[in-house]
Chains A and B, each alone.
Chain A
Amino acid sequence: MKRVGFESSFAIAEAVKMANIDVTSAYPITPQTHIVERIAQLIADGELDANYIPVESEHSAMSGCLGASAVGARTFTATAGQGLELMHEVLYVASSMRLPIVMSVCNRALSSPLSIWGDHSDVMAVRDTGWIQIFAENAQQAFDLTLCAFRIAEDPAVLLPTMVHIDGFHLSHVIESVLLPEVDEVNKFLPKFHPLYALNPSKPLTMGDFATPDLYTEAKKGQDEALRNSMKVILQAWREFGGLFERDYFPVETYRTEDADVLLLTMGSFSEVAMGAIDRLREAGEKVGLVKLRLWRPFPFDEFCQAVAQAKLLIVLDRAISFGGPGPVCSEAKAALYHLEKKPQIIGFIGGLGGRDISVEGFQDMIHRGMDKAEQGKFEEFEIFGVRG
Chain B
Amino acid sequence: MTLSSVSIALTGSGGAGVMTAGQILLDAAAKAGFYGLMGRTLGPQIRGGESAALLRLATGPVDGPDDGYDILLAFDWGNIERFQDELPLNTGGLIIADPHQGAVPDIMLTGDDIRTAMVPFHDLAKPIAGGRVNMVGLGLIAALIGLDPAFLLDRVARQLAGKGEAALEASRAALAAGAAAAADIAGVSPLAAPAPRTGDRWSITGNDAAGLGAIQGGVRFCAAYPITPATDILEWLAPNLPKVGGTLVQCEDELASINMIIGSSFGGTPSLTATSGPGLALMTESLGLAVASETPVVVVNVQRGGPSTGIPTKSEQADLNIAVNGLHGDAPHVVTAPLSIGDCLFTTQWSVHLAEAMQTAVIVLSDQTLGQSRAIIDPPADLAFVGKRRVPERIEAPYERYAVTADGVSPMALPGQEGGAYTGDGLEHDPVGHPSTQTAHHQAQLDKRRRKVEGFDYGDHWAEVDGDPDADIAIVTWGSTAAPAREAMARARALGFKVRLVAVRLIHPVPVDRLRYALSGVSRVLVVEQNHDGQYWRHLRAHMDLPGTVAALHRPGPVGLRPREILARLQSQ
Are A and B genuine complex partners? no
